[in-house]
């Protein structure tokens, strides 16, 4: 009997020891921060914490900025959604992967691409290190590769909802099939209320999950479709911006006279309205109004997420990162589009908030979206991923380390690059032609000073930052909206 009692006692001690051990392990896991990873499509720097353009109303972007760190001079690695998002999610530059155009989510990582064949995507790295991962909306180009998230909410197809009758800009004429694609560029008040918007449903999905109980720390991605065209949101968001109060961005009709030929070819965008057309037709202020209305709509949805987080048990242990895949031109440089190596196309919001980060801090040094992957890993306390080509921004956020040496590189097609060093932009195209701007004297980049001997040394210094690797186009990556990219891929790949 005593022997039996002893066995039972040992078993109980062993059981509770294991149980306590498991609790201890669980506690350690829960001590790791959770992550809210928020992408906003086509959002430029007009939000109030950065440019505050035309008295834009974005109280929730402001609220997030006050809770953390805002990078006012962050740049994407490609001024086009597909390659920009692929770069961020792989941690690799477009010049390394050859992903210069749109690539199906499931084709980013494949045996045919030596740079990405065994890459670990950002959400996967967290899953492999003990996180429960979730995602909804536009995070990669469409949504996400299969099985990247433990839980996927998917994505509503397209960028609707759409009214029965639409304008839909398609340039002058039909364009050339296979060369000039058709976009959803349109603007106006639709639908009747926010609940009919896909982004509203995505936020509902996130809100429900913010009030669940998790046995692991979580990584949750939310990809907003707005402010991508068509610029449709309910009327109440347009009402915030009376047309008579709308400002239009700086524009100079002869601005492009000193742009090299490749730069001009890249800027051929018949599938987008031209600024001259917008001026003559009286639509310019209406397009700007619609874009601002879309920003305020997204701001409101962001507020719903922040409210839910603040009322959840995860409020004190969650890191938020909010970013956009590129800027957007609203008449600058002659058009309404991203698609360029100029400032207004490459610059986009980047905000962080969470434990151990300063509050209401703004950093004006140029940084890269490529830094998001390594930054989140450092904030999580996980080991660095050696394949990352970006640098963590944690030291910069916490104590300004690296501010004076900061730079950002953007690539558009093979061997076309822009280098941003604080106060200067240098662009070099594949044929060696250049652009150079000193922003303290020319903030709108109206005067190309590449041939000015006064800047010879500065240009020489910036050339050193050009990528040493310029991979050929990935076979699965295409951009058929512009003749230049179709022809470049054929030429460099020998097709």
CB 73 within 8 A of CB 422: yes
What is the residue whose two structure tokens read 């008579």? 244
Is 141 part of the annotated catalytic residue set?
yes
Choose the catalytic residue: 3, 18, 75, 141.
141
CB 366 within 8 A of CB 421: yes
CB 214 within 8 A of CB 134: no
Question: Which residues lie across from 426 on neighbouring strands?
Answer: 419, 436
Distance separating alpha carbons of residues 488 and 416, to the nearest angstrom? 11
| HEC readout, 77-119 | CCCCHHHHHHHHHHCCCHHHHCCCCECCHHHCCCCCCCCCCCC
Phi, psi of 311 (to 5 degrees): -95, 5
Question: Which tokens hold the place of 386?
Answer: 């050696």
Distance separating alpha carbons of residues 52 and 166, to the nearest angstrom? 30
Residues 6+ apart with CB under 8 A from 387: 91, 92, 119, 120
Distance separating alpha carbons of residues 204 and 225, to the nearest angstrom? 15
CB 445 within 8 A of CB 423: no
Choose the catalytic residue: 3, 18, 75, 81.
81
CA dihedral 103→105→111→115, nearest 10 degrees, is 70
Distance separating alpha carbons of residues 45 and 187, to the nearest angstrom? 20
Distance separating alpha carbons of residues 11 and 264, to the nearest angstrom? 78
Question: Which tokens hold the place of 487?
Answer: 């022809």
Is 81 part of the annotated catalytic residue set?
yes
Q: Which residues are catalytic?
A: 81, 141
């Amino acid at each position: 009997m005593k022997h039996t009692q002893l066995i039972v006692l040992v078993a109980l001690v062993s059981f509770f020891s294991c149980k306590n051990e498991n609790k201890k392990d669980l506690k350690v896991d829960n001590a790791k921060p959770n992550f809210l990873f928020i992408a906003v499509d086509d959002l430029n720097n007009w939000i109030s914490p950065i440019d505050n353009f035309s008295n834009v109303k974005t109280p929730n972007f402001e609220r997030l900025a006050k809770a953390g760190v805002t990078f006012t001079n962050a740049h994407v690695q490609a001024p086009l959604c597909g390659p920009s998002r692929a770069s961020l999610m792989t941690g690799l530059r477009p010049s390394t992967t050859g992903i210069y155009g749109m690539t199906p989510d499931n084709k980013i990582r494949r045996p045919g691409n030596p740079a990405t064949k065994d890459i670990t995507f950002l959400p996967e790295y967290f899953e492999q290190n003990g996180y429960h991962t979730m995602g909804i909306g536009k995070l990669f180009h469409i949504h996400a590769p299969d099985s990247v998230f433990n839980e996927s909410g998917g994505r509503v197809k397209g960028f609707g909802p759409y009214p029965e009758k639409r304008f839909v800009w398609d340039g002058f004429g039909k364009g050339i099939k296979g060369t000039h694609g058709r976009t959803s560029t349109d603007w106006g008040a639709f639908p009747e209320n926010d609940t009919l918007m896909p982004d509203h449903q995505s936020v509902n999905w996130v809100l429900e999950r913010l009030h669940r109980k998790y046995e692991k720390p979580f990584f949750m991605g939310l990809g907003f479709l707005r402010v991508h065209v068509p610029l449709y949101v309910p009327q109440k968001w347009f009402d915030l911006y009376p047309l008579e109060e709308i400002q239009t961005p700086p524009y100079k009709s002869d601005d492009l006279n000193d742009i090299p030929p490749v730069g001009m070819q890249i800027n051929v965008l018949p599938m987008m309205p031209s600024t001259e057309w917008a001026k003559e037709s009286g639509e310019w202020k209406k397009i700007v109004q619609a874009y601002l209305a879309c920003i305020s709509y997204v701001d409101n949805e962001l507020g719903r997420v922040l409210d839910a987080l603040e009322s959840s048990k995860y409020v004190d242990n969650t890191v938020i990162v909010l970013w956009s895949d590129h800027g957007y031109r609203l008449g600058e440089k002659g058009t309404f589009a991203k698609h360029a190596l100029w400032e207004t196309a490459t610059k986009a919001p980047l905000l962080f908030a969470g434990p151990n980060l300063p509050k209401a801090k703004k950093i004006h040094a140029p940084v890269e979206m490529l830094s998001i992957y390594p930054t989140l890993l450092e904030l999580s306390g996980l080991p660095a991923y050696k394949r990352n080509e970006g640098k963590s921004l944690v030291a910069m956020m916490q104590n300004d380390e690296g501010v004076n040496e900061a730079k950002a590189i953007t690539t558009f097609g093979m061997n076309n690059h822009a280098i941003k060093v604080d106060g200067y932009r240098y662009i070099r195209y594949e044929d060696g032609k250049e652009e150079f701007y000193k922003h303290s004297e020319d903030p709108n980049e109206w005067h190309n000073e590449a041939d000015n001997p006064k800047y010879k040394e500065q240009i020489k210094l910036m050339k050193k930052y050009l990528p040493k690797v310029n991979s050929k186009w990935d076979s699965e990556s295409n951009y058929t909206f512009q003749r230049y990219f179709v022809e470049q891929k054929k030429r460099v790949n020998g097709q």
